[in-house]
């Protein structure tokens, strides 16, 4: 009996220790910065301008404005939790082909950027990128924001806080609490969640056209979460089902690219002639 009680106590203490670690270190599970990249838009044959973003809490972050000549519309790209400034290069090439400029940046603490990543920090970084586009002469109604996975949560928050012409998200979840419960069903993940990214709670506040892109084969973020999020959003909204797993490239290089191109053309103004 004593042996059983001791084993139970050891197991209980271990479980509580895991819960405490989840509470204390969850940013390290969510944000996965990688080293600064040596790849630039030039490597893909794209012209660009280097910018410096200044956040409202005083951080200075590098950014790339990839701009086809004379572009009057722009797409602000918010990368995923393991991304970096170069993560959107192939998106920028597609957007340039459709006549849009692209603003690429990385969150604080990513690459060689100062600071450490936090939920509110990613929101402030995206707002600084938005301000840079305004300073570059782009009108709010001619700016789209695109986000993949965690970047979709950042993009949704930006579209709620600021005026944009269109929102495109890809492989984005309902909330970090829902993801925690899915990935760690043996933990009280909802109670332990400090980093919220609660898209389901804020999607109803959208005031801009939204295109939701998600694959039914997504092996990380269930397609059911995309359906739930879509049901909660106001009109106008559209959705696009793609193929492949969570990290398989999304709409790029598939027969669905034209859907995204058409969405941006209709809501930002047709600059591509397609």
Assigned domain for 16 exists: no
Domains held by the chain: number:
1
153 part of a folded domain: yes
Mean pLDDT score, 206-230 = 96
Give a yes or no: residue 163 inside a domain: yes
Q: What is the pLDDT of residues 150-201, one digit of tens each?
A: 999 999 999 999 999 999 999 999 999 999 888 888 777 778 778 899 999 9
Q: Examine residue 241 and state whether it is found in any structural domain, yes or no.
A: yes
Q: How many residues does the chain have?
A: 274
Banded pLDDT at 76 (limits 50, 70, 90): very high
Per-residue pLDDT tens digits for 240-262 = 999 999 988 689 878 899 999 99
14 falls within a domain: no
In a domain, residue 17? The reply is no
Domain annotation covers residue 39: yes
Residue 102's φ and ψ, nearest 5 degrees, are -135, 135
Report the distance separating Cα 166 and Cα 189, nearest Å.
Answer: 33
Full-model pTM = 0.91
Distance, in Å, from the CA atom of 94 to the CA atom of 74, rounded to the nearest integer, reads 12
CA-CA distances (angstroms) from residue 248 to 37, 93, 148, 207, 229? 20, 18, 12, 30, 22
Q: Give the structural domain span for 96.
A: 31-268
Residue 168: CATH number of its domain? 3.40.50.1820
């Amino acid at each position: 009996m004593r042996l059983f009680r001791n084993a139970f106590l050891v197991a209980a203490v271990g479980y509580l220790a895991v819960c405490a670690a989840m509470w204390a270190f969850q940013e390290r599970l969510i944000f996965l910065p990688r080293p600064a990249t040596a790849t630039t838009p030039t490597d893909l044959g794209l012209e660009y301008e280097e910018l410096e973003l200044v956040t409202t809490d005083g951080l200075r972050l590098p950014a790339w404005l990839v701009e086809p000549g004379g572009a009057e519309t722009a797409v602000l790209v918010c990368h995923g939790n393991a991304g970096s400034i170069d993560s959107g290069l192939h998106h920028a090439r597609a957007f340039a082909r459709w006549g849009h400029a692209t603003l690429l940046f990385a969150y604080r603490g990513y690459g060689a950027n100062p600071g450490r990543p936090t939920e509110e920090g990613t929101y402030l970084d995206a707002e600084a990128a938005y301000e840079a586009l305004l300073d570059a002469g782009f009108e709010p109604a001619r700016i789209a924001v695109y986000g993949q996975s965690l970047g979709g949560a950042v993009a949704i928050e930006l579209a709620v806080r600021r005026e944009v012409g269109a929102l495109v998200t890809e492989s984005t979840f309902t909330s970090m609490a829902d993801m925690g419960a899915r990935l760690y069903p043996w933990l009280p993940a909802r109670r332990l969640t400090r980093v919220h990214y609660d898209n389901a709670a804020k999607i109803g506040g959208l005031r801009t056209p939204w295109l939701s892109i998600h694959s039914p084969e997504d092996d990380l973020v269930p397609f059911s979460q995309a359906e739930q999020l879509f049901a909660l959003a106001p009109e106008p909204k559209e959705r696009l089902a793609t193929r492949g797993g969570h990290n398989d490239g999304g709409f790029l290089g598939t027969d669905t690219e034209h859907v995204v191109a058409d969405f941006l053309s209709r809501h930002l103004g047709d600059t591509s002639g397609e």
